[in-house]
């Protein structure tokens, strides 16, 4: 439940920092222009940043759960701590690799 509250707070902060106010144009006009100028299937800049934020939140939760499980396993069986740590580091590297790949696709990827 705590991670759900943290994710909701992160999304709230993200939304409030992305809001812009302009005396010449309304927010709706800017959104209409952004969606109209984007190619079909592409995310506007705000959508890209939202998607990137969700990827980072997911990766952080995944690595956190991985570390929690590893620490609990080491506490139960300290004699296999080296094997558990090695497996944890390999899994964390795979999670980070998938995260970086997703971020590259989101931020600089072009639609087909």
pLDDT at 21: 43
Tell me: the pLDDT tens digits for 5-45? Answer: 776 666 655 555 555 443 445 555 555 555 555 555 555 66
pLDDT at 96: 93
| Separate counts of helices (H) and strands (E) for the chain | 4, 0
Look up residue 111 and give its two tokens.
């639609």
* Cα(51)–Cα(60) distance, integer angstroms: 14
Three-class secondary structure of residue 110 per DSSP: coil
Q: How many residues does the chain have?
A: 112
* Cα(44)–Cα(50) distance, integer angstroms: 10
């Amino acid at each position: 439940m705590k991670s759900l509250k943290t994710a909701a707070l992160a999304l709230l902060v993200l939304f409030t920092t992305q809001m812009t106010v302009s005396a010449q144009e309304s927010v709706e006009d800017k959104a209409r222009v952004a969606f109209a100028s984007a190619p079909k299937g592409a995310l506007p800049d705000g959508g890209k940043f939202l998607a990137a934020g969700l990827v980072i939140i997911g990766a952080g939760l995944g690595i956190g759960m991985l570390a929690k499980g590893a620490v609990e396993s080491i506490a139960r069986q300290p004699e296999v701590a080296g094997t558990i740590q090695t497996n944890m580091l390999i899994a964390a590297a795979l999670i980070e690799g998938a995260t970086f790949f997703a971020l590259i696709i989101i931020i600089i990827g072009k639609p087909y």
